[in-house]
Amino acid sequence: MFKSKTKLLQLIVTLSACAFLLIPTIMSVMAGLTANYFKGISSGLTLKWVFQVWELYADSIFLSLWLAIACLIVTLIVGLPAAYGLARHPGWLSRLLEEFISLPLAVPGLAIALALLQLYGSMKGFRASWAFILVGHVLYTLPFMVRSILAVLAAIDLKTLEEGAASLGASPWQRFRDIVVPNAMPGILAGALTVVTLSIGEFNITWMLHTPYLKTLPVGLADSYASMRLEVASAYTLVFFILIVPLLMAMQWASARAQRKTK
Amino acid sequence: MTLRVTNTAKTYPDGTKALLPTELSVAKGEIVSLLGPSGCGKTTLLRIIAGLETPDAGSEIWFGNDNVTSLPVERRKVGMVFQSYALFPNMSVRANVGYGLKMQKLPKDEIESRVTEVLELCQLQEFSGRAIDALSGGQRQRVALARAIAPRPRMLLLDEPLSALDAALREALRDELAMLLREFHITAIFVTHDQDEAMAIADRVAVMSHGHVVQSGTPEELYRNPNSPFVAGFVGNAMRLEGKVAGSTLHLDGGELALPRDGTGHNVFVRAEDVQIDTEGPLNGKVESVTFFGTHYRVGISGIMTDVLTSTYAGQNAPKVGERVEVSIKPEALMLLPEGAEI
Amino acid sequence: MGVRPSPYGHTMTNRTFVLACLTPLFIFSLAFLALPLVRLFLESGSGEAGWAIYLDILRRPRYLNTLVLTVLVSLATTFAALAISTTAGMFLSRNRFRGRGTLLSVLTLPLAFPGVVIGFLIILLGGRQGLVNQLTPGHVVFAYSVIGLFLGYLYFSIPRVLLTVMAAAEKLDPALEEAARTMGASPYRVVVDVIVPGLMPALIASGAIAFATAMGAFGTAFTLATNIDVIPMVIYTEFTLSANIAMASALSIVLGIVTWALLLIARSLSGSTVAAGG
């Protein structure tokens, strides 16, 4: 029958896709834990490569974590009030601004990085500091923060809630603090996890902006792929997975939760 | 506190005139209802009084001896009950009610005791720890009211406070609201499109139409002496008797009626409850429809005028469709309104 | 009644507060997005060829071939990802079985993998020490060829297309299919007349996303395409090795406009935000 034959075909395609995505991931994890990749698993399991990665790249890992936190702080400071402003002043100007800050989602990071380098490359102090990489990360993650919060704010009757608070004597700032922020929380949480996840994994902009003294985790990864033995590169990838997979899962959970709130 | 609104109007940027220059005074402790169909400007007027809308230049809002026209809502010290209640979903019932007191920066224990007092007054003690989305519609309505009065506002403003409830609950809460408002001894203005609600709750009703107040008075005054066909129709559903006035007689297709006075230049209106099926009546018509309402029947009678004339019949044995009936209307039940007073 | 004025009550109306809220965003995006992009555009016209540099992209075989190759690889990625992800997506949204959640997790896991990591995973599959080369001793090395690049882009696109298709599939009203059946439509006709038209906006949207991301993918190309000329690699080498800043800028502008326009279409059709980078 048409149905069961189709189902079988669909199942085969689904399983093949899973295999395609999963097998190299598992290989990478195994390679990072195997004493000698060429001899295979029989050469024994070891954490030697992971420790070696830690010695070589601990700085990169910490720089990435630090950047992610700094990026989160900046996107919150800039993005939270902005999302509120955009929600309260819907109109073509707000649409345009939202569209404009979303450009880094669509335009390849390479182009954004080139633009930044050409305008600020000659400001040596700024160019050589971690703040320069931070700017790139904020550019790329800010639209996620703004849109995540905006989606939640658009789903509640923000204007009437604020009028309610105003009629009880709350000033604009008190309204923002007591009504807007608490009710936007699911969106803020989802946005925050997205920002951290994306910042830790960002490569395209960072590769162009980084200096030899400031290598983030993904920059270090590219470095290890090019110059280290396969086991070290794999162990480093494993460290990245351990960091990013729980974040991804938390991000998906938080986004689904925020979306339920908007219904 | 008395409220005085003078020369107050609202024109939107696109040129729509939501409110034409309006005068309104509300005495201390008075409960006034703004009644009218949707789009008549009643909510706009309420929101201007609250400070949620900016009126056109030249408008003035006085709270007692304070001109509050340029004060933002958060500095006017009004209590407001919103149509959707606008309860804060991130706070418990208690925190919602205490929010206005917190904004006044009262000491914690005073806030606590005043919140408890208000919760008791509105019979909400047992719900004080609940989240807003764990409340029924009627409970939410009471929380909204409690929250509005807790800061002891100068005036209470209610925007269609019962319209979010279903019909049965609305009627029960209408009387409860009327009682509570009187217990509060507070100047209150509430907006509604429901004449029963306005009459049940308000000391005085201001009927609005097309951006201005058409007539203002006690429910009885409006009901008995409407100054325009609009008010007669909107308050108590009066019907126009389509006939020819000659001196103090009205000639209808189905007979003649005596008017209470000379009706030259006037239109004649009557309410269904004053149209009586009466074997001695001077008017003759045919029963078109009979609808049973429990307490009474509504009988549609044709042949008396071009339109169907409606009568309420309270007896046990309603006439049958197709029967011919006699109808009488007492002269004092007829309302004479000058021709051309169409609004 | 002793209401003390709040510190902002006097001075700040709601409108000024809202505008103040937008100010940091405005300043940030002006300084770090608008001005740099203007500079990038001006720079593209500052070379020897002037503004004719945009014509050079089409006239000079090196750039034209790069453009054609990039478009071809991206198109192949798009259609392959659409075919695989639509099939898997429909299967997963229409069937409930044990292990479904696991399959879904596996298929969405790579969402957080940057392009470099995906490039490395393709090397593990098809590199000199890769799985395929170990299993078949015919020295099959494809990681650094166009095929490797295609597989890398595909790896990147499958989860993104899958999520878009599944979201659309969940929104399809099952009553439509049932209505078609009651009117005597065969299962095949139901697919053609109801399911595919219902999914079409999502298919176009996710196809545009897959195409745009493949066009602009740098991380994967950086790891795999050392010998292949695709646009992002050419931009990179023009900028770093040849110091041909004008051409690197011009190619960036063209690439940016193409991917931006495609994603604009995608978003207007699906209404969702999907990360293009990585």
Selecting from A161, A166, A169 the residue whose C-beta is nearest the C-beta of B88 gives: A161
pLDDT per residue as tens digits for the range C197-220: 888 888 998 999 899 999 989 999
Q: Which residue has the higher pLDDT, B297 or C192?
A: B297
CB < 8 Å to B105, chain C: 4
List the one residue out of C257, C247, C168 whose CA is nearest residue C212.
C257
- Nearest residue in chain B measured CA to CA from A182: B90
Mutation target among A114, A208, A245 for the C interface, most CBs of C within 10 A:
A114
What's the mean pLDDT in C68-89?
94
What's the confidence (pLDDT) of residue C274? 46
According to DSSP, the residues that pair with B78 across neighbouring strands are B155
What's the mean pLDDT in B49-67?
93
- Check which CATH number belongs to the domain holding A62 and give it: 1.10.3720.10
pLDDT per residue as tens digits for the range B26-36: 999 999 999 99
What's the CA gap between C219 and C217, in Å, rounded? 6
A100/A142 same-domain check: yes
Distance of CA B49 to CAs B159, B207, B217, Å? 12, 17, 20
The answer to whether A169 contacts B86, with C-beta atoms less than 8 Å apart, is no
Q: Which amino acid makes up residue C38?
A: V
Distance of CA C120 to CAs A110, C78, C108, C115, C116, Å? 20, 21, 18, 9, 6
Across B74-83, B94-103, C4-13, C129-138, least confident range: C4-13
The answer to whether C9 contacts B152, with C-beta atoms less than 8 Å apart, is no
Q: What residues does each domain of chain C span? A: 14-44, 52-270
Across B41-50, B254-263, C142-151, C269-278, least confident range: C269-278
Bridge-based pairing state of the strands B204-209 and B335-338: unpaired
Mutation target among B52, B68, B78, B103 for the C interface, most CBs of C within 10 A:
B103
**CA distance to partner chain C, nearest, from residue A115 (Å):** 5
Q: Which residue has the higher pLDDT, A2 or C278?
A: A2
Say whether residue C34 is in contact with chain A using an 8 A CB cutoff: yes
Enumerate chain A positions whose Cβ falls within 8 A of a Cβ in B: 156-157, 160-161, 163-171, 174, 178-179, 182-183, 185
The answer to whether C6 contacts B74, with C-beta atoms less than 8 Å apart, is yes
The answer to whether A169 contacts B104, with C-beta atoms less than 8 Å apart, is yes
- Three-class SS string for chain B? CCEEEEEEEEECCCCCEEEEEEEEEECCCCEEEEECCCCCCHHHHHHHHHCCCCCCCCCEEEECCEECCCCCHHHCCEEEECCCCCCCCCCEHHHHHHHHHHHCCCCHHHHHHHHHHHHHHCCCHHHCCCEHHHCCHHHHHHHHHHHHHCCCCCEEEEECCCCCCCHHHHHHHHHHHHHHHHHHCCCEEEEECCHHHHHHHCCEEEEEECCEEEEEECHHHHHHCCCCHHHHHHCCCCEEECCEEECCEEEECCEEEECCCCCCCEEEEECHHHCEECCCCCEEEEEEEEEECCCCEEEEEECCCCCCEEEEECCCCCCCCCCEEEEECCHHHCEEEECCCCC
What's the confidence (pLDDT) of residue C232? 92
The answer to whether C212 contacts A106, with C-beta atoms less than 8 Å apart, is yes
For residue A69, the enclosing domain spans: 48-262
Q: Which residue has the higher pLDDT, C269 or B62?
A: B62
List the one residue out of A207, A196, A193, A221 whose CA is nearest residue A56.
A221
Low-confidence ranges of chain A (pLDDT < 50): 1-2
Count structural domains, chain A. Answer: 2
A103/A224 same-domain check: yes
Say whether residue B114 is in contact with chain A using an 8 A CB cutoff: no
What's the confidence (pLDDT) of residue C265? 82
CB < 8 Å to B100, chain A: 168-169
What's the confidence (pLDDT) of residue A262? 66
List the one residue out of B145, B152, B187, B175 whose CA is nearest residue B77.
B152
The answer to whether B78 contacts A161, with C-beta atoms less than 8 Å apart, is no
- For chain C, the average pLDDT equals 85
Packing angle of the helix pair B167-184, B137-149 (nearest 10 deg) = 20
**CA distance to partner chain A, nearest, from residue B206 (Å):** 23
Selecting from A7, A82, A103 the residue whose C-beta is nearest the C-beta of C21 gives: A82
A32/A56 same-domain check: no
CB < 8 Å to A182, chain B: 88, 90-91
What's the confidence (pLDDT) of residue A160? 93
The answer to whether A179 contacts B88, with C-beta atoms less than 8 Å apart, is yes
Say whether residue B298 is in contact with chain C using an 8 A CB cutoff: no
What's the confidence (pLDDT) of residue C7? 35
CB < 8 Å to C2, chain B: 104
What's the CA gap between C37 and B57, in Å, rounded? 45
Q: Evaluate if residue C150 carries a pLDDT over 90.
A: yes
Q: Is the dihedral of CA C268, C157, C251, A217 positive or negative?
A: positive
A184/A142 same-domain check: yes
What's the mean pLDDT in C234-246?
89
Q: Give the Cβ contact number of residue C254 at 10 Å.
A: 19
What's the CA gap between C160 and C202, in Å, rounded? 11
Say whether residue B13 is in contact with chain C using an 8 A CB cutoff: no
**CA distance to partner chain B, nearest, from residue A174 (Å):** 8
A68/A193 same-domain check: yes
A87/A137 same-domain check: yes
What's the confidence (pLDDT) of residue C270? 65
List the one residue out of B143, C107, C25 whose CA is nearest residue A78.
C25
**CA distance to partner chain A, nearest, from residue B281 (Å):** 56
The answer to whether C253 contacts A146, with C-beta atoms less than 8 Å apart, is no
**Could you tell me the two tokens for C223?**
């790891």
Selecting from B74, B82, B85 the residue whose C-beta is nearest the C-beta of A170 gives: B74
Classify burial at C229, counting beta carbons within 10 Å of its beta carbon; exposed 0-12, middle 13-18, buried 19 or more.
middle
Packing angle of the helix pair C35-44, A109-120 (nearest 10 deg) = 90
List the one residue out of A70, A217, A114, A258 whose CA is nearest residue C273.
A258
3-state secondary structure of C275: coil
Selecting from A13, A114, A147 the residue whose C-beta is nearest the C-beta of C249 gives: A114
Q: Which amino acid makes up residue B314?
A: A
The answer to whether C6 contacts B77, with C-beta atoms less than 8 Å apart, is no
The answer to whether C3 contacts B72, with C-beta atoms less than 8 Å apart, is no
| Fold observed for domain C52-270 | MetI-like fold (1.10.3720)
A221/A165 same-domain check: yes
Above 0.90 for ipTM, yes or no? no
**CA distance to partner chain A, nearest, from residue C116 (Å):** 6
Alpha-carbon dihedral C52, C58, C59, C60, rounded to 10 degrees: 100
What's the confidence (pLDDT) of residue C155? 95
CB < 8 Å to B152, chain C: 1
A35/A66 same-domain check: no
**What global pTM score does this model have?**
0.85
pLDDT per residue as tens digits for the range C45-56: 988 888 988 988
CB < 8 Å to C5, chain B: 75
A73/A98 same-domain check: yes
CB < 8 Å to A24, chain C: 121-122, 124-125, 131
A249/A210 same-domain check: yes
The answer to whether B80 contacts A171, with C-beta atoms less than 8 Å apart, is no
What's the mean pLDDT in B221-228?
90
The answer to whether C6 contacts B104, with C-beta atoms less than 8 Å apart, is no
Is the Cβ–Cβ distance between B288 and B308 less than 8 Å?
yes
A254/A213 same-domain check: yes
The answer to whether A108 contacts C252, with C-beta atoms less than 8 Å apart, is yes
CB < 8 Å to C14, chain B: 72
Selecting from B72, B77, B103 the residue whose C-beta is nearest the C-beta of C13 gives: B72
What's the CA gap between B297 and C194, in Å, rounded? 53
CB < 8 Å to B73, chain A: 163, 166-167
Instruction: Count how many pairs of residues, chain A against chain C, have C-beta atoms within 8 Å.
Output: 276
List the one residue out of B83, B102, B97, B219 whose CA is nearest residue B161.
B83
